[in-house]
Amino acid sequence: MSDFSSYDKFKKEAEDGGYYINDDTEFVQSLLDSINVNIDRYGYASCPCRLASGEREKDLDIICPCDYRDPDLVDKGACFCALYVTEDVLKGKQQLTSIPDRRVREKAKKDAENESSSENKSSTEILGKLKVPIWRCKVCGYLCGREKPPLNCPICKASQDRFEQIL
């Protein structure tokens, strides 16, 4: 899990991983405070800008850093909360704007894909040739081939339940 306990620790960890955080320190501190409220409330770091169900399994995609951070950084220059931003935003080359939440649409897309891929046998055919399954970290995209995903992602520290088997 990311370290939300202090601004300095959070910033360092983000930067060590190649990410940038919003330079409005007061805003970031308020977000971290809210994440800590959610940790106390739900037992996990649910996104403070999204509605949590209270069930970890249903909210896995919105545990900070969420599954949508990276696509939003690429498309909009910031994550939905504007906690994480791009270097271009920090340098003033790109303006921060209000971002539509892609969660509901992405989930619908994923459900539709899962339905069609269950009819498609190609991945299981490939799997037959692999010695071990391939796991993907849904937060940062890290891939590994092993029987079970690691307890924590070695790249972004996301927990084991944030991995999906892709092959």
Partner 1 sequence: MELQHIDGEDKGNVLLFALSTCQWCRKTRALLEELNVKYDYVYVDLTSGEEREEVVKELEKWNKDISFPTIVINNDNVIIGFEEENIKKVLG
Tell me the site size for partner 1, rule CB under 8 A.
22
Cα–Cα distance for residue pair 14/156, rounded to 1 Å: 9
Decide the pairing of beta strands 84-85 and 163-165. Answer: unpaired
CB under 8 A: which stretch of 7-15, 24-32, 115-123, 140-148 binds partner 1?
Answer: 24-32
Residue of 21, 31, 63, 89 that binds partner 1 (CB under 8 A): 31
Is 39 a binding residue for partner 1 by CB under 8 A? The answer is no
| Interface with partner 1 in residues 136-165 (CB under 8 A) | none
What are the helix (H) ranges across the chain? 7-16, 25-42, 56-59, 69-76, 87-90, 103-119, 122-129
* Structure tokens given for 65: 């850093």
Cα–Cα distance for residue pair 122/118, rounded to 1 Å: 10
| Interface with partner 1 in residues 101-130 (CB under 8 A) | 101-105
Residue of 100, 141, 145, 154 that binds partner 1 (CB under 8 A): 100
Residue of 9, 12, 37, 110 that binds partner 1 (CB under 8 A): 37
Least distance to partner 1, CB of residue 2, Å: 16
φ, ψ dihedrals at 110, nearest 5°? -65, -45
Least distance to partner 1, CB of residue 50, Å: 7
With H, G, I as helix, E, B as strand and everything else as coil, classify residue 91: coil
Footprint on this chain of partner 1 (rule: CB under 8 A): 27, 30-31, 34-35, 37-38, 48-52, 81-82, 98-105
